[in-house]
Amino acid sequence: MKISFTIQETNIHHSLTMGQAQPEHTEAVMGLLLETARWLKSKGSDQWSGLLEGKDSHDTPSAIERGEVFVAMDGEQVAGMVILMKQPSQWDYSLWGDKAHPEDRALYLHRLAINRQYANSGLGQAILRWCDAGIRFEGKDRVRLDCMANNPTLNAFYSGNGYRFVGTNGEFNIYEKPVQA
């Protein structure tokens, strides 16, 4: 079942546009996730390492079919991507506890990934900004995400982009940000 939303802004960063991933984007999106996992491994991180073993905890192809994946496009090239879930996943339930439930007013952000050709260009920040101001989901008033607690750069990135630190659950920090009205 496709999720309902309204895109308020498609132009996000220079000439890049943001929109819903389509089935024909699946190969490029999966390639981007694998590229990101390999890059993370080269930096000494085991984050997303399951992807390198063929394990996709977010079942990204199915998330594309459900309409939960959004891509930043540079012409025909996928420059970046993000998953926005209207309902918490099992992972989200494990991290957010009682705050996560099917009727909560949060979107759950996963797998923000940037093609390395666009690294350090501000595209990650532009996608985050788009998630809380460029798209609207009826009944949703906040975006939640998690990241590795032991990654100071990533934690600084999220807090520097207006996400409020909510707490730590095991090896993960959780963050939340209201969407712009």
Domain range annotation of the chain: 6-140
Average confidence score pLDDT of the chain: 93
Phi, psi of 64 (to 5 degrees): -65, -45
Confidence at residue 1, expressed as pLDDT on a 0 to 100 scale: 46
From CA 34, how far away is CA 52, in angstroms rounded?
Answer: 7
Q: For the domain bounded by 6-140, which CATH number is listed?
A: 3.40.630.30
SS3 27: helix
On the question of pLDDT at 57 being above 50, the answer is: yes
Averaged pLDDT for residues 166-181: 93
Write down the pLDDT at residue 14.
Answer: 83
The string of pLDDT tens digits covering residues 145-155 is: 999 999 899 99
Per-residue pLDDT reduced to its tens digit, 79-126:
999 999 999 999 999 999 999 988 889 999 999 999 999 999 999 999
- CA–CA separation, 70 and 10 (whole Å): 11
Q: How many residues does the chain have?
A: 181
Q: Is the pLDDT of residue 181 over 90?
A: no
The predicted pLDDT at position 124 comes to 96
Q: What is the mean pLDDT of residues 115-141?
A: 94
CA dihedral 180, 30, 37, 153 (to 10 degrees): -10
Q: What is the mean pLDDT of residues 163-174?
A: 96
